[in-house]
Amino acid sequence: MDNQLQARLLPLRERIDALDEQILDLLNQRAKAAQDVGKIKQELDLDGPILKPEREAMVIRRLQSLNAGPFTDQAIDAVWSQIISTCRGLESVLTVAYLGPQGSFSEQAALDHFGHAITRLRCDSFDEVFRAVEAGQADVGMVPVENSTEGAVNRTLDLLLSSPLKVLGERSIKIHHNLMTRSGTLDGVTRVMAHPQALAQCQAWLTQHHPGLPRDAASSNGEAARIAAQDPTVAAIAGTMAAQAWDLQVVASGIQDDPQNRTRFLAVGAIETLPTDNDKTSIILAVPNRAGAVYEMLAPLAANGVSMSRLESRPARTGQWEYYFYVDLLGHHKEPSVAQALADLKKQVAFFKVLGSYPRQ
């Protein structure tokens, strides 16, 4: 390199080294402060959770509001999620249950949301995720609830209905699917495997590019990747984390039919989340099967100025064309307007359950 350029580079690199030393010192000061917070929390409530979702959301949002750049708000979320994860881990390590195996999108959502300083509990099904958290084997679970192409994840909705766990957070991640094999080619490949949701999200691409290739369902995309790593006749559809985890080569990337394909995950656990200034509340309702019932069901929301961000229905399995309605509201159930709307709703519906309030992503 040109000597003059070298001379300009050197002081900048020295400055970065000096700044990194300061950052390191500050990170260690922060970690010690978090450890002290942890001790106080233990004195206050020995069995209480270390995880405070509302505090974590507020720490990140405050920094984003102070941020003058060029560091992006997205980078603040990614970096401070890791910092908080490490600090939390020094207080007590959080065990997170999710649908495995290694490299699944659920794993990515869990790591994005809770950071890397966690104990990973990989489960074989969504039912097992709920069971693990309910039994105290894991502190929290991370489950997909809706996809922008395929809609609701029905098993999660059913489990939310019957489980005593609370929703304590949400995380939406971009779902970027790749076709991958051991060799990086489709030579000798006789079938493609993925979770049914992923096969559905890539169906137009598969039909256009590989119309004759049989499609087989796997329990997860990570599981499909695990199989493809052992069986050269199988191509898997999964994310890049799975390619790394199972040492697979990408044959085609970004094969999802919708380039903006996203999945929203919910964090569940036995933790009540306190209000921040920007929350959501998820509830389940059922109304009698008669004309106007759904319209009336939602009237208390409008009357109290509460916005709805999502409405989903699931058959109640009574054979009577009755449904459970899954509603997401803006606001925390402890906010007066939301509390009033919920109290009014409760009086007029046949079934009412608050799944939880949590910081809005």
Ligand X SMILES: O=C(O)C(=O)C[C@]1(C(=O)O)C=C[C@@H](O)C=C1
Binding site for ligand X (CB under 6 A): 34, 37-38, 51-52, 55-56, 59, 84, 87-88, 91
* Cα dihedral 181, 187, 189, 195 sign: positive
- Shortest gap between Cβ of 94 and ligand X (angstroms)? 8
Amino acid at position 103, single letter = G
Q: Could you write out the DSSP letters of every residue in 11-36?
A: HHHHHHHHHHHHHHHHHHHHHHHHHH
Nearest residue relative to ligand X (C-beta): 87
Q: Cα torsion at 52, 53, 58, 61 (round to 10°)? A: 150
Q: Within 10 A of 350 (CB to CB), how many other CB atoms are there? A: 13
Q: Which is nearer to ligand X, 87 or 306 (CB)?
A: 87
First vs last C-alpha separation in the chain: 45
Contact 143, 239 (CB under 8 A): no
Give backbone dihedrals phi and psi of 352, rounded to 5 degrees, phi first: -150, 125
- Shortest gap between Cβ of 55 and ligand X (angstroms)? 4
* Cα dihedral 205, 210, 215, 218 sign: negative
- Shortest gap between Cβ of 67 and ligand X (angstroms)? 17
- Shortest gap between Cβ of 33 and ligand X (angstroms)? 8
Annotated active-site residue in 156, 181, 263, 273: 263
Amino acid at position 42, single letter = Q
For strand 234-238 and strand 191-194, is the pairing parallel, antiparallel, or unpaired? parallel
- Distance CA(306)–CA(287), nearest Å, equals 19
Q: What angle separates helix 126-134 from helix 154-162, to the nearest 10 degrees?
A: 20
Q: Which is nearer to ligand X, 37 or 186 (CB)?
A: 37
Give backbone dihedrals phi and psi of 281, rounded to 5 degrees, phi first: -130, 130
Task: Mark whether 263 is an active-site residue.
Answer: yes
For strand 279-286 and strand 323-330, is the pairing parallel, antiparallel, or unpaired? antiparallel
- Shortest gap between Cβ of 299 and ligand X (angstroms)? 37
Q: Which is nearer to ligand X, 120 or 353 (CB)?
A: 120
Q: Which is nearer to ligand X, 55 or 334 (CB)?
A: 55
- Shortest gap between Cβ of 130 and ligand X (angstroms)? 22
Annotated active-site residue in 114, 130, 265, 325: 265
- Shortest gap between Cβ of 90 and ligand X (angstroms)? 9
Q: Which is nearer to ligand X, 30 or 314 (CB)?
A: 30
Bridge partners for 142 per DSSP = 98, 267
> Which residues, at least 6 apart from 322, have a Cβ–Cβ distance to it below 8 Å?
286, 288, 289, 315, 316
- Distance CA(64)–CA(67), nearest Å, equals 5
Q: Which is nearer to ligand X, 88 or 210 (CB)?
A: 88
Q: Which is nearer to ligand X, 49 or 232 (CB)?
A: 49
Catalytic residues, by residue number, are 263, 265
